[in-house]
Amino acid sequence: MTPWLTRLSEIAYVLLRIVAGLMFAQHGAQKLFGVLGGKAVPLFSLLGAAGVIELLAGVLIALGVLTGWMALLASGEMAMAYFRNHAGQGFWPVENRGELAALYCFVFLYIALRGGGKWRLTKN
């Protein structure tokens, strides 16, 4: 990799963490509040629990608070969502409409392993 791209890698990682966290939080807001084109679900349901995880973990990941733990929780939720809702509908994620769950799963796994990065509010 060229030296100037290497210098930008930490900024790119922090942007990935912030954008992925905020996008994930939007899914939680859809489920919990029925906003952004979503429909509110009962809080004490499986989808309600998913909404709480998505909103809370997404915001904390974006802020860099408890990043490793929140990203691990989000990754696990997305793995469960993939296998529970998509895998039975075909082998390939693009075929079973599970590509977003699979992508979130691996992005958050990477973030869990890497931590908050240079610009975070608290240590992991």
pLDDT at 2: 83
Q: How far is CA 110 from CA 4, 13, 68, 122, in A?
A: 23, 10, 9, 18
> Which residues of the chain have a pLDDT value below 70?
1, 123-124
pLDDT at 1: 65
pLDDT at 45: 97
Kindly report, residue by residue over 70-82, the tens digit of the pLDDT.
999 999 999 999 9
> What is the pTM (predicted TM-score) of this model?
0.91
CA distance 26 to 31: 9
CA distance 69 to 14: 16
